[in-house]
Amino acid sequence: MRRIILISLATGIGFFCNGVQAQKTFRALAFYSTNVERDHVDFAHDAIGYFSKLAKEKTFVFDSTTDWANTNDTVLKKYDLVIWINEFPHNEQQRRAFEKFMNNGGGWLGFHVSGYNDKDTHWPWFVDFLGGAVFYNNNWPPLPAKLNVDDPSHPIAKKIPSTFKAPINEWYQWKPSPRLNKNVKVLLTLDTSNYPIGKKDIIHSGDVPVVWTNTQYKMLYMNMGHGDKIFTDPIQNRLLSNAILWMGSRVAH
Ligand code: ZN
């Protein structure tokens, strides 16, 4: 009889453990906009669908909003990770709130045009945050491209081959390249065999980091994000899952 009680206790503990695992590990809030370039909205919708499903499987909180006014202290303090899907803060107040969030150890995952900045952006903090990268060039039309993994041992490269063909995207080149910044770790790069890439707009040569982190912050930038084909490749999908889960592990409470 005593043995039976022990077994049922063990079962109970097992169930309890499952319950513990089911607790939320981190809370992510994705910002996007629906009044931007159509291809950027398409990606936003696909990304929200993909990450919402992943959030259920991996038990983290994934919320999304088109209201950038939520970039304020009150809302941001409820989250560990902020995700920008093809947009960025709309005013100085939101910029300051985001800086504060990041300086206090928050996480950021940014896609595609969310990293865009040029001479008219006038946000030096953000350029520094991005690792010094300033938009320089892109290919047009959007095209698939061969990518190389810079560090196969990195968590976001788990079960990712050292080289793979990424689906159609508009790839950005940056000048200066973030690779020149000693605090930046480049994680994926456009293979030079893609050159020249584009027809109307062409990237002819040079270094094109595609995914990187500025190690001074809990941040990760991914250039993928143009159009409705981004989530059509299982390898890249895994990379995107790895990316959000890695960021989650850095900010989890
Ligand atoms: Zn684009």
In this prediction, residue 13 carries a pLDDT of 38
CA of 180 to the centre of ligand 1 (A): 24
Q: Is pLDDT of 12 > 70?
A: no
In this prediction, residue 23 has a pLDDT band, given cuts at 50, 70 and 90, of low
Whether pLDDT at 10 is above 70? no
Rounded to the nearest whole angstrom, what is the distance from the C-alpha of residue 170 to the centroid of ligand 1? 5
Q: How far is the CA of 230 from the centre of ligand 1 (A)?
A: 11
Closest Cα to residue 247, out of 208, 203, 209, 217?
217
Span from the CA of 44 to the centroid of ligand 1 (angstroms): 11
If you measure from the C-alpha of residue 205 to the centroid of ligand 1, how many angstroms do you get, rounded to a whole number? 20
Cis geometry, peptide bond prior to residue 209 (ω within 30 degrees of 0): no
**Which pTM does this prediction carry?**
0.91
What lies within 8 Å, CB to CB, of 49 at 6+ separation is: none
Cα–ligand 1 centroid distance for 118 (angstroms): 15
Average pLDDT over residues 30-36: 98
CA dist., res. 212 & res. 194, Å (int): 19
Instruction: Say whether the peptide bond before residue 196 is cis (omega within 30 degrees of 0).
Output: yes
More confident residue, 93 or 9: 93
| Percent over 70 (pLDDT), the chain | 91
CA 37 – ligand 1 centroid, Å: 8
Q: What is the mean pLDDT of residues 181-199?
A: 98
Domains of the chain, first to last: 26-251 (3.40.50.880)
pLDDT single digits (tens) 53-81: 999 999 999 999 999 999 999 999 999 99
pLDDT at 253: 83
Cα 226 to averaged position of ligand 1 atoms, centre (Å)? 4
Compute CA distances 85 → 32, 112, 151, 158, 161, whole Å: 5, 7, 25, 23, 26
Give the torsion through C-alpha atoms of 164, 169, 174, 179, to 10 deg. -20
Is a pLDDT exceeding 60 seen at residue 7? no
b (16+ CB within 10 A) / e for 190-200: bbeebbebbee
Is 4 a residue whose pLDDT tops 50?
no
Question: In angstroms, what is the span from residue 14 Cα to ligand 1's centroid?
Answer: 47
pLDDT at 24: 57
Give distance in angstroms: CA of 79 to centre of ligand 1: 27
- Greatest alpha-carbon span in the chain: 79
Q: In angstroms, what is the span from residue 168 Cα to ligand 1's centroid?
A: 11
User: How do residues 88-132 score in pLDDT, each as one tens digit?
Assistant: 999 999 999 999 999 999 999 999 999 999 999 999 999 999 999
Q: What average pLDDT score do residues 175-186 get?
A: 98
